[in-house]
Structure 1
């Protein structure tokens, strides 16, 4: 069973983060860390039925509350039966919580890959997303997310391959 939760309290009103959530998957997406990872691309603006993903991870929007919450259910071929969700909760007029939840069950080869490769990379992407949210809402990041060693090594390997390809 997969139960992976990341959250950050951000010193900004919930309304400041709502437009970031609503812009996911668009060309001008300021929340998703596309500068470091495969971009999230959706076939239309965030709404129930919007389909897309990032890299080989595919999903569809199954629940959406504008400015507050979006839930994506994984396509079967992704190898995860379940969902990931972003939600914004107001804590008081000047603070909110941005939470990412991934729940489900790995199937097929994903049962092996998830713990070894996918989960550390997923954690790094989500921490970068939380950094983006805080930076967009406050202008700074008080405590940037840290990448696990496996995620750092994988990033170096991928960046090295991309660098070699671009020099050809």
Structure 2
């Protein structure tokens, strides 16, 4: 089953400033793009670079390609049944505006044919909107659906 999912936000900043957000990924408390306060942190086995292995929570991936300040692509290694990638791209509009886009493109197989539409998709969408909210200045407040709140409560009880 193919999945193509995109989230983007027009930011009121130049591409260099937006690129700095991208470059801050997985830098712990200095990360200005990943909403680590509300979601499992993005962690890697080494600094952000091609070949770095890591992920967040049960979602695992390898940095397939990285152009600092411009684009980063992660290839899925888990969970089982996720075959594809997700990426962030910094797309200049003009000197004062930039589009920050996250794209997920994958094929799901096996149990992921159920887990993606029933759970992962909803959590993914909420996490990405939180990430883009964080990129905006001032940041917006999270607006999770009742279903996302239920899924988060279930995950919290399991862990």
Q: TM-score by structure 1 length? A: 0.86
Structure 1 gap ranges (5+): none
1:125 to 124, 127, 151: 127
Say yes or no: does 1:42 pair with 2:26.
no
Query: Structure 2 unaligned runs (5+)?
Result: none
Q: CA deviation at 1:78?
A: 3.6
Instruction: Show the 5 A alignment for 1:77-156.
Output: 77-134=79-136, 138=137, 140-141=138-139, 144=141, 146-156=143-153
Q: Aligned to 1:75, what secondary structure does the other structure show?
A: strand
SS at match of 2:114: helix
Query: What secondary structure does 1:124 align onto?
Result: helix
1:158 to partner: Cα distance: 4.0
* Alignment deviations for residues 85-116 of structure 1 (CA, whole Å, 9 cap, x no partner): 00011100000000000001012211110000
Question: Residues of 1 paired with 2:155 and 2:106: CA distance?
Answer: 27
Deviation per CA, 1:100-140: give whole Å up to 9, x if none: 00001012211110000000000000000001111xxx3x1
**RMSD between superposed Cα atoms in Å:** 1.8
Q: Does structure 2 conserve the Cα–Cα contact (< 8 Å) formed by 1:57 and 1:78? A: no
